[in-house]
Amino acid sequence: MTLEAALKPGDTIGVLGGGQLGRMIAMAAARLGLKTHVFSHHPGEPACQVSAAATVAEWTDEAALARFAEAVDVVTYEFENVPAATAAFLAARKPVRPGPLALEKTQDRLVEKDFLRGLGIPTAPYAAIDNAGALARHIGQLGRPAILKTRRFGYDGKGQFALREGSDVGAAFRALGGAPCILEGFVAFEREVSVIGARGLDGAFAAFDVCENEHENHILSLTRAPAHMAPETAAEAMEITHKILDALDYVGVIAVEMFLVAETDPAGVRRERVVVNEIAPRVHNSGHWTTDGAETSQFEQHVRAIAGWPLGSPKRRGRIEMRNLIGDQVEQWRALLTEPGACLHLYGKAESRPGRKMGHVTRVYP
């Protein structure tokens, strides 16, 4: 690592996206004496409230992007759907970490699955679907249930359609607007887990303990760390994450979401394996527990990595539970303030709506 590649206290991190992830990156950066400059579409967003500067513009506004690049020392993002052209425009001016390759491999579910398979990493069986005819053909091979997903811009279960016995394939394709899709075979998982890993500018690797995640209405509701799984399976999940980071020549924090599949063989021996579902090239909701529950938070780890600084210790401080406060669950804030040991985080969103992530609460059990 060259000295020039590393930031110094007082330098500025440019953050693409103004949501709560950017807010928590900015807060971690501030603690380490770094400034942040947020690029977002709306004034007053959660990250803008805590950053030294904000640019409010569209991804296509090259004049605004050029001024932003001029004002920052490194660019990162809290949102993986940053257009490739925006990332390339910025990368020509300032280091973008993680680099545009991470965006290219994770914005499209088909490209992502091909990338994982190319590394020998297990995924659900899948097929590319461009029309209702291809869907009818492949559903025969993959069987039901299966899940049809749009290749791009899906999140929190949006852009997905479960095909069960009797579901009409034409209606499924139409329901997703006829967009290019991927059909995935159903993985009969025991639980969903994720690894929040990091890679430094010097190639160093660190990961937090594997955590397990529960969803309600497709939105993360609860994360527990550590995940209930065999140590060998957890080690395999770490190795997979490490392999992905190296293959992307990645700098920063990544989240790898996986299914834990468990089978008991005829001799009664339990066998576990992990299947990768999705990669998020950014800090992630299932890593929020690290702020109160680990020696370094995922946000600080990300800041350290993109600043070219040494990674911090990911050691867990106890047994952890993180609950999201979604929609009107945020009304619990007053009661949570009086609960000993409850670490409350609110994102500064003016208005609560059903399904909107308003905050979270972490409980650490020593």
Nearer of residues 177 and 340 to ligand AMP, judged by Cβ: 177
Nearer of residues 257 and 321 to ligand AMP, judged by Cβ: 257
Nearer of residues 278 and 300 to ligand AMP, judged by Cβ: 278
Nearer of residues 186 and 205 to ligand AMP, judged by Cβ: 186
| Residue-wise burial string across 103-129, b where 16 or more C-beta atoms lie within 10 A, e elsewhere | bbbbbbbbebbebbeeeebbbbbbbeb
Which residues of the shown chain bind ligand AMP in the complex (CB under 6 A)?
124, 147, 154, 157, 184, 186-187, 192, 215, 218, 257, 277-278
Nearer of residues 154 and 359 to ligand AMP, judged by Cβ: 154
Cα 9 to Cα 12: distance, rounded to the nearest angstrom: 9
Q: Is the peptide bond before 226 cis (omega within 30 degrees of 0)?
A: yes
Three-state SS string over the chain comes to: CCHHHCCCCCCEEEEECCCHHHHHHHHHHHHCCCEEEEEECCCCCCCHHHCCEEEECCCCCHHHHHHHHHHCCEEEECCCCCCHHHHHHHHCCCCECCCHHHHHHHCEHHHHHHHHHHCCCCECCEEEECCHHHHHHHHHHHCCCEEEEECECCCCCCCEEEECCCCCHHHHHHHCCCCCEEEEECCCCCEEEEEEEEECCCCCEEECCCEEEEEECCEEEEEEECCCCCHHHHHHHHHHHHHHHHHCCCCEEEEEEEEEEEEECCCCCEEEEEEEEEEECCCCHHHCCHHHHECCCHHHHHHHHHHCCCCCCCCECCEEEEEEEEHHHHHHHHHHHCCCCEEEEECCCCCCCCCCEEEEEEEEEC
CB of 23 to ligand AMP, least distance (A): 23
Nearer of residues 11 and 257 to ligand AMP, judged by Cβ: 257
CB of 326 to ligand AMP, least distance (A): 15
Nearer of residues 153 and 365 to ligand AMP, judged by Cβ: 153
Nearer of residues 45 and 112 to ligand AMP, judged by Cβ: 112
CB of 124 to ligand AMP, least distance (A): 4
CB of 272 to ligand AMP, least distance (A): 16
CB of 292 to ligand AMP, least distance (A): 24
CB of 154 to ligand AMP, least distance (A): 5
CB of 84 to ligand AMP, least distance (A): 21
CB of 8 to ligand AMP, least distance (A): 38
CB of 182 to ligand AMP, least distance (A): 10
Nearer of residues 157 and 180 to ligand AMP, judged by Cβ: 157
